[in-house]
Amino acid sequence: MKALIQRVTAAKVTVDEELVSAIGKGICVLVGFCKTDTEKDVDYITRKILSIRLFHDETGKRWKKSVKDENLEILCVSQFTLYGRLKKNKPDFNLSMEGERANELYSTFLKKLGTQYDSNKIKDGRFGAYMQVHIQNDGPVTIEIESPTLNDKQNELPNDSDHNQL
């Protein structure tokens, strides 16, 4: 499982010009699932998202407070393209989990975030929809997190010499 976390002053998701979700200050999390991900990967990423220190403390010291410490909002957006690879000049999503299973794991992820934090502060896009994600970054802060079991999984995944990981 992979997540890109962006510190934001505001973010929103629209689908066909309809506002689906919006947050103020907090984090936007783009989430992708590898075909071999399990609930164990969800547990790891959930813990990291809630504990990563991206915000300043009261004295202005950087990297001291988490989204949970600051009681901020989280906007989650499913994004299968996080496991895209290039095959020559064309994207290949062979490593991405298929839709139905990914939707189930994404729902599990959202539930875990909501039970380990404040469910009213967790917002999300629309799984499988063509979304427009509008992000107003709070500084150029983007952090990538990947569940550690991927290294073990790499041995299980097809090895195609034509693929270059992004």
In a domain, 142, yes or no: yes
CATH number of the domain encompassing residue 73? 3.50.80.10
In a domain, 89, yes or no: yes
pLDDT digits (tens, 9 = 90+) for 21-61: 999 999 999 999 999 999 999 999 999 999 999 999 999 99
In a domain, 25, yes or no: yes
In a domain, 33, yes or no: yes
pLDDT at 163 over 90: no
In a domain, 91, yes or no: yes
Predicted TM-score of the model (pTM): 0.88
Q: Domain tally for the chain?
A: 1
**Across 16-121, where does the E strand assignment appear?**
18-23, 26-32, 53-55, 65-66, 73-78, 85-87, 90-92
Three-class DSSP category at 155: coil
pLDDT confidence band for 150 (50 / 70 / 90): low
Residues serving a catalytic function are 79-81
pLDDT digits (tens, 9 = 90+) for 55-74: 999 999 999 999 999 999 99
In a domain, 162, yes or no: no
Residues spanned by the domain of 141: 2-150
Mean pLDDT value of segment 118-133? 96
* Residue 88 identity: K
In a domain, 155, yes or no: no
Three-class DSSP category at 129: coil
pLDDT confidence band for 121 (50 / 70 / 90): very high
In a domain, 136, yes or no: yes
The four Cα atoms 6, 10, 13, 19 give a dihedral, to 10 degrees, of 170
Mean pLDDT value of segment 132-144? 95
Mean pLDDT value of segment 85-95? 94
